[in-house]
Structure 1
Amino acid sequence: MFQEERLRSILAHLKTSKRISIEEICELFDVSRDTARRDLVKLEEDKAIIRTRGGAILPSPKHEIKDYVNRLSMVSEEKRQIGKKAASIIHPGDYIILDTSTTVQACAEQMEDVKCTIITNSINLADILIKNSQTHIQLLGGELHKEHRYLYGSSVIEKLSYYHVDKAFVGCAGISEKGVTVAHEEDGNVMQKMIQQAEQVILLADHTKIGITGYFRCAELNEIDLLITDREPNKEFQDLLDSHGVEIFITSHNEEGEILND
């Protein structure tokens, strides 16, 4: 077998098994340890793998975080369905925190005009909710992140500490065994406080976020009460959520028979 063929086969093995050892390469392809090492060096040079002691793993997927306007243009039907379900569990009299993610914005866009209080640091969400005559909006003041259109900083975190709410709806860049992660530390610091101030924390994340680890961890899995997503995760991930007490609602399923605590 030529090296190019082996390299393709090694990558195919990694996609299913997540890691491969020098010994496995030798056994699978009947090559020497020196040949196996050269194969891994070549794949590392091509940025296709990360070499580990005695083998290799695939690099973590990286997602470019576009600015807010560009992300809004990419809001999918899946995110709209997640937002619709989230909006349906906002009830009259609720005190709610909404973060700055585009999936949470999909929730705000589909909210009924109910008498409730919304606390947010997103100038976009505040503008959207102006149309709801019965909704009281508390916009958190702080430093403006112009590119992503949210307010952040110590003043936002301090003001949040005075509120106690029924539900917090938050988005993420990724959710994995490492926890819930976002792309920017300043955003993550605010989200940490939002999560602390809520009786129920509801994470809105489409299937592309599952298994992804972003830059800054804003929550451990056991801090999330409910995940609303659009596709059923694999059993391993469902077991991970279950072990941390996270309920899951999948919008692609029929709602009949689903259990949702609110």
Structure 2
Amino acid sequence: MASDMSPTVRPDPTPPGQDRLSKAVRHKRIIAQLAASPTLRASELAVMLNVSGETIRRDLLDLHEQGLINRTYGGASRPFALEAARSDRRRVMIAEREAIAAAVSAMILPKEVLMLGGGATTYHVARFLAARNHDITVITHDFASAIALGTNSSIRVLCCAGRLHPGEGYVIGAQTIASINGYEANRAIVGATGIGARGIYDADDEAGAIYGAMIQRAAEAIVVADHSKFDQPAVAVCARWPAIDRLVTDRAPTGALAGALREAGTELIVAGP
């Protein structure tokens, strides 16, 4: 009697009449889902994409190896944002950052005292303040911003003490925070590595502490960030949205981030080119 040696045929998980999604499309949808929700379960993704659990596990492994997601037990999460070198950051999003800087410059009145954090976007703010504003005082821990502001003789520049961060060109540490705590300001203007529904983040915990201190010492807090920072968490939380008065950006956010801004009462200013 001959035994039946025919292979086992597994059913196709794709419903009749529905095309199976390509790997590239599945990957795009997984990343899009993580933009809306910080964590996802593999089982939920398998149902959403109409594929087997084995297929979704391979997809998550591929995306993890590309650095686009973090694999977790049973699913995936967004990767934490990392800060590129400052020289590299200065070469991207120039038009968007200049539009943001111009919008901030237009808000500032003579005799105001500002605190200005370090970073690529805030450097553009310093340039526009130097070109368009007068009779203001700016407290900063960032050397490049201090030099840019110093080209305008009507701007008084106060530099914070602290330990030099050679790669970023600013000072950090306990002395820097002590310097900030010795002042009061009308406005704090800070950037961020990333922004999300919970608040603003920085990849450097010491820099994040400085931005948080600036926000606490100012009557108004302004965050400047282009749209590439949306839904990008990083290791250090600088401030939650209720502590932020205005977000100046180049594109209106959507989803959970937009909802968080509305709930916190943070004013959204979208700067045109």
Q: Same fold (TM over 0.5)?
A: yes
1:75 deviation in Å?
Answer: 4.7
Structure 2 match to 1:46:
62
* Cα-to-partner distance string for 1:99-143 (whole Å, 9 max, x where unaligned): 101111111111124111110000111111111111111000111
> Is the counterpart of residue 222 in structure 1 residue 231 in structure 2?
no
Could you say which structure has the greater relative contact order, defined with CA pairs below 8 angstroms and 6 or more residues apart?
2
1:11 deviation in Å?
Answer: 3.2
Structure 2 match to 1:67:
85
Two-structure CA RMSD over aligned residues (Å): 2.7
TM-score, normalized by length of structure 2? 0.80
TM-score, normalized by length of structure 1? 0.83
1:60 deviation in Å?
Answer: 1.7
Unaligned runs of 5+ residues in structure 1 are: 254-262
Moved more, 161-170 or 64-73: 64-73
Larger radius of gyration: 2
Of 130, 151, 166, which residue of structure 2 is paired with 1:131?
A: 151
Q: How does 1:33-182 map to 2 (within 5 A)?
A: 36-48=52-64, 56-57=75-76, 59-61=77-79, 63-111=81-129, 112-182=132-202
Q: Amino acid of the residue matched to residue 139 of structure 2? A: I
Unaligned runs of 5+ residues in structure 2 are: 1-11, 15-19, 35-39
Paired residues, number: 246
State the alpha-carbon separation in 2 of the partners of residues 209 and 12 from structure 1: 19
State the alpha-carbon separation in 2 of the partners of residues 210 and 23 from structure 1: 24
> Cα 1:25–1:198, aligned 2, differ >3 Å: closer, same or farther?
same
State the alpha-carbon separation in 2 of the partners of residues 128 and 23 from structure 1: 51
State the alpha-carbon separation in 2 of the partners of residues 28 and 168 from structure 1: 45
State the alpha-carbon separation in 2 of the partners of residues 246 and 27 from structure 1: 34
* Cα-to-partner distance string for 1:176-213 (whole Å, 9 max, x where unaligned): 02310011011111111111101000000101111111
Structure 1 match to 2:232:
212
> Is the counterpart of residue 25 in structure 1 residue 46 in structure 2?
yes
> Cα 1:80–1:28, aligned 2, differ >3 Å: closer, same or farther?
closer
Q: Amino acid of the residue matched to residue 53 of structure 2? A: R
1:38 deviation in Å?
Answer: 1.6
1:88 deviation in Å?
Answer: 1.2
Moved more, 72-81 or 200-209: 72-81
1:71 deviation in Å?
Answer: 2.0
1:10 deviation in Å?
Answer: 4.1
Moved more, 105-114 or 217-226: 105-114
